[in-house]
Every structure is written in structure tokens, then in C-alpha cells.
Structure 1
């Protein structure tokens, strides 16, 4: 893992140089893997989806970079998706891309989604500059969620992240114990998925659906008034 680039301050504390990226997706959907067989939607994109989007930008197989982020959606809805599975034995062939609505044939499924998703992402240097250049001219299309969920880069800014004991939590993804906001909920998110999809690393995060205000924070940095928690890419066997 690449070490962070730090800058010494007059008061003796160390600030971390980072790149802030603001993303916007009109529609995005992130299936909750804790509910197999159902299409329950996560309220925020998991780190694995964000790292996958960064890998699409750089063209690398993976991007196991440390990152921190805030995320929230303006609304949500439910999409109706029609599936046309083709029987392997040829008993229900597709005609003009459609199969008959019999058992094992055409079926309608509900797909929850988030609307007007905003993600603010912090990537420490030196990875931040490298990824920022890739986001300006990505190798592959940038998506969050399903293959049709395009994401747009609104801005890319070089910033300094400073250690802090108090900051505006907002919609930050924080580690357990990072703050004591009463409205926070714990969400379990995939942090990385191995390329063969046999191993997934999960992590627990605190997140507020309604933005939390200025609060005491632990093990946090700040960008201006906003709290930021940088989380390294996981190592180990996963589950």
C-alpha cells in the first residue's frame, strides 16, 4: 500500500495531502448482499463499488487505495425489470429477444434504486493525483452500481486533510466509534471483492441519512469543516 504524503504545520501536527472528487449519478442501485435472493438496495455505494469505478478509470485490475467518502441520495424508487432467461434445454427459446411467461420463463422483478446520488470522495496522495488524471480521461466508462448506472465527475480538487477532534459529520462513512451522532445507523458494506468473486471483504460503517452537524469525532481528519475518515483497503482472507 502506498504511504500517505504529509505536510508539517506550524503547530506541529501533520496534514495529509489528498485529492477530493465530487461525483454525481442520476440513478444508481447497490444490491445488499446480506439479503440473498432479494433486491434490497443499500442506502450508499459500498467501497467495493467505488474502488471498481476507480479501476475502470485507471484500467487496472484493482485499485486497493485508502479512501474516505460522504454519500447521500436525494430520493429513491423502485424499477420494474423484465427478465427473459433462456432455457438451456431449448424448451423456451427466445423470439426477438423475448421468452414466454411460463414457469422458468419471462418474469418481472422489482429493483430498488437511488435517485440523484452524490458522492464526495477523498484519496490521499500520491494515489490521488494519479487517479484524478485517470478520471479526466478514463480507460472505461464510469459507473456506480448496475452497468447502466453512469456516474459523472463534477469536480476534482487538491486539498489538505488535517487531524481534528471536532467537525461536521454530514453524510460521512465513519468507522464504529468514530462519532456519537444519535441518528447514525450501522451499515455493513463490501470493501473489496476479489477478481474471481470467491472472496469478499466486509466492513461496518456509521452513516447518517440526515446530515449530522458539528460533533466531537475520533480518529478523524477534516477538509474545511467536514469530517473525513480514511479507510485502508482490507487485507487478509475475507469471507
Structure 2
């Protein structure tokens, strides 16, 4: 049916989550306030059970948290050893040595995420089953950030002229057209064939202050509605702004490299 897209919708939550800046290895470790696209891909691979080619798979999400905290995390620093035999090792050569490095690390308290997935039906059906019975422990961030899936459903998104966006990512190309949001530079993809080199992309992060598109010519938050033609919306999630009810907009991103 024209103007209608069926997508996989997963709702999840955790007690904590942390999405560390990739190049920060020592000192205080800050966190992104929303999961980077590379993290979403790794998240899907964790439930799938192996790396897979995302192909034409696209994602969108709504991500909220209850605040930012900070704790102490022990980093294990590994170095090359002397290579000489050690009595403490029963005469075996010491090839490496390690030490513990306490570091302050930020974390997000009580994160919640609604994840939308759009693309090939076979991949979506495989992911639906994977979320019901994940191959590895279900986490949202670090290996200790155990999470819970609350629902796995198929949602029908429709095209609309008006919508609101909140607690989500939009493409950076929209920056010149909107008055809300902040820039964020995130890893879009991790190249595992090149020493896990991250590929970065700039995005527009929309937080609790919503981006409202009324589609009536006179707009509050956008300078032109032209870039927002044929919006996809989730009509099961609505809010009222200035006396008008708007559905949640869903903007999809890909991992195209």
C-alpha cells in the first residue's frame, strides 16, 4: 500500500548503559547520551549471534535516560613482557604483563530505547526471532549493562505532513533547516578489517526539546518544510503542541560505507 511501511519495533530498557567515546582510553571516560549507529549494529549482531551484512537494513530509535552518573571502572593495561623465564610461572617465559588502571567513567541511568528496523523481510524476520531468543546475553552498552526486551512487534508507519521528533538522531544535512538540536560526531561504522578503525559521521541530536513540524506553512521549529516531505510517522505515539496532536516522526539511517 502506497505511503505505508511495515517495520520491526523493539522496546527495551536497562538499569545502566554507557557509550564511551572511541578515542578516549585514559583519564575520565565520557559517554554519548545516545547510542552511536556503530553501537546499534553491534547490538543487532549480539542478538543475531554473528556479524552479518546489514545490506539495505535501516534503523531509527527513540532513546531516553534518567540522568548521567559516574563510577570507577578498572581498566586492564596489557604490555609486552620480558620474554625471559620466570620462576613464578613455573619456568615459562613471561610474554606479557598487566596492571589495573582505575578510571572514572560516565554512565546513563535507567535508559530506555524503542528501536525501529526497516529493510529486507528475511533479515527482519531473523532479527525478530533473535530478539526473542538472543544468542548472547542481552546488553545495552557495556558487557555489564544487562537489558530487558519488553515487546517485539510489527508497526505500520504512515506518511504524514506533520510530526514531532524527540530523543532521537537526525541527519546532519537538516541542520540548516531547523532551530533545535545539537551536533554530535559519532562512529557510524567500525571497520573490523582495518584494526577496528571507526568511521565517523556527524548527526543532529534531538533531545527532550522536540522538533515540531505542523505542515501548515507557518512553522515554529523549521525554516522550510521542504526537507520533511513525506515523513514517516508512528501514530501510536502522539503529543499535543499548541492545540494540535502530532504523531512521532521516525527518520531512518543506514550503515552505508
Aligned length: 214
Larger of the two Rg values belongs to structure = 2
Gaps of 5+ in 2: 89-97, 215-224, 236-246
Q: Which residue of 2 aligns with 1:79?
A: 71
Q: SS of 1:43's equivalent?
A: coil
Matches within 5 A, 1:120-131: 120-125=114-119, 126=121, 127-131=123-127
Q: TM-score, normalised by structure 1?
A: 0.78
Deviates more, 1:35-44 or 1:221-230: 35-44
Shift of 1:112: 0.6
Q: Which runs of 5+ in 1 are unaligned?
A: 1-6, 9-13, 96-103
**2-structure distance, mates of 1:23, 1:172:** 15
Aligned to 2:233: 222
Aligned counterpart in structure 1 of residue 191 of structure 2, from 189, 194, 202 = 194
Structure whose residues are more often helix by fraction: 2
Distance 1:106 1:57 in 2: 31
Residue 51 of structure 2 corresponds to: 61
Q: Give the TM-score taking structure 2 as reference length.
A: 0.73
The answer (yes or no) to whether the contact 2:180–2:211 under 8 Å persists in 1 is no
**How many angstroms does 1:183 deviate by?**
3.8
User: Does the CA contact (< 8 Å) of 1:17 and 1:161 recur in 2?
Assistant: yes
Higher mean displacement: 166-175 or 188-197: 188-197
Post-superposition CA distance 1:155-185 (Å, at most 9, x none): 1121122223321211121112447554411
Deviation string 1:42-92 (CA, Å, 9 cap, x unpaired) is 1111111111111111123135221111112111101112345466349xx
